[in-house]
Amino acid sequence: MFVLPEVAVTAQQSVAFLIFVAPLCIYVAWNDLRAMKIPTWSTDALAIIFVVVGIFVMPFSDYLWRYAHFAVVLVLAIIANMIGMMGAGDSKFLASAAPFVALSDVTLVFYLLGAGMLAGLVVHRIAKRIPAIRNMVPDWKSWDEKRRFPMGFPMGAVLIVYLARPLF
């Protein structure tokens, strides 16, 4: 049986962040599947959630250091966007999500992202071939994409799973 390792997020942080982050991640996933876009306001909102909630639930030094996570991931994500590895919305989402992840948990989150991207791709590709599912949301742009994939779908799920880990 596979069990996720412990994470640096506390139960208090988990609950406080998830109240705001989970609905936003679900919206991001839905919108990326529907329109192949992650709106800037949603990535801004994700960053603001960390700024506002984080100050109350994290030790101040940890809270400040997490802004370095934002900066590093933003630079790497911009480069990935420039070379065509991912869209701009995906890049902004990763950067805005980075402060939620403790440095000690980065390896775990990379594994979760890898597994999440693969699972998301498989689920999406299977779902689009099932007429009953496809007919429920026939206007989704992601159904007809050949080359691009709505990465907001698995990235949002991974952030929720990571933040929820202390609760199970």
pLDDT at 6: 92
Give the pLDDT confidence of 76-110 residue by residue, as tens digits: 999 999 999 999 999 999 999 999 999 999 999 99
- Average pLDDT of the chain? 96
Q: How far apart are CA 69 and CA 152, in angstroms?
A: 19
Give the pLDDT confidence of 33-45 residue by residue, as tens digits: 999 999 999 999 9
Strand ranges (DSSP E) for the chain? none
Q: Do 24 and 31 meet the contact criterion of CB atoms below 8 Å apart?
A: no
pLDDT at 2: 74
The H-or-E segment that residue 64 falls in is helix 60-82
Give the pLDDT confidence of 5-27 residue by residue, as tens digits: 899 999 999 999 999 999 999 99
Evaluated on CA atoms 64, 67, 68, 69, the torsion sign reads positive
Q: How far apart are CA 88 and CA 96, in angstroms?
A: 12
Q: For the chain, give every domain's residue range.
A: 11-167
